Amino acid sequence: MAEEITKEEIQKLMRVRGNVRGAILQSHAIFIQNREGKGGVGAVEKKITELGYPVNFEKFKAGEWYPESLSTLIILTAKTLFNWTEKDIFEMGRSAPKYNFIAKILMRYFVSLEKFLAEVPNYWRKHLDCGKLEVVQFDEEKKYIVLREKDFKFHPIICVYHAGYYQGITEYVVKAEKISIKETKCVFKGDLYNEYVITWD
């Protein structure tokens, strides 16, 4: 088992305000079960309950709001219990769109890259009631997109998760052999916002 997060870290995290749709929490459970089996899901529920935040994945409803801090705690707990690396967390984010029924419904309307990018702020708002996501640069000829998150700061692990998520979404609408993403600015490194550059070949 990896080093556990401290009670102080958890308390600080849980004080951060902001909510996420239950569909995201459901996607966490699916990924954990696919990686660690049903027992893995139970282990995460048990550990988080022991920490003082009772969790039952079966009771989460896709369209309802839940604390984003709880979503973050689920990811951190799974990372600790199963010795996951940042690569695992990235893959957790990357797989989330295909497990998330809200995302799948929205993706039906992303028939072009331009339409996808125009809807990015609304897509964010469908899933989160805090912060915002903007497209600050896009060059289809040079094959890159720059996304910027503002007013969003929960835990550094979410930067990794979101990088995976943005890549997973991009894979739906960009037909390319190779898609890559890099976080170029981060609020946990002193920047005013998180920024991600997506490129493809």
- Which residues face 148 on adjacent strands? 134, 195
Instruction: Give mean pLDDT, residues 104-117.
Output: 69
Which two structure tokens, joined as six digits, stand for 148?
């910027």
- Show Cβ contacts of residue 22 under 8 Å, excluding neighbours closer than 6 positions: 60, 61, 62, 63, 64, 65, 66
72 contacts 158 by C-beta, under 8 angstroms: yes
Q: Where are the domains of the chain?
A: 7-99, 110-200
CATH class assigned to 110-200: alpha beta
What would the pLDDT profile of 19-66 be if each residue is shown by its tens digit? 999 999 999 999 999 999 999 999 999 999 999 999 999 999 999 999
Residue 166, number of CB atoms within 10 A of its CB: 23
Model confidence pLDDT, tens digit, residues 65-96: 999 999 999 999 999 999 999 999 999 999 99
* Helices within 128-155 (DSSP H only): none
**Contact partners, residue 122, CB within 8 Å, separation at least 6:** none
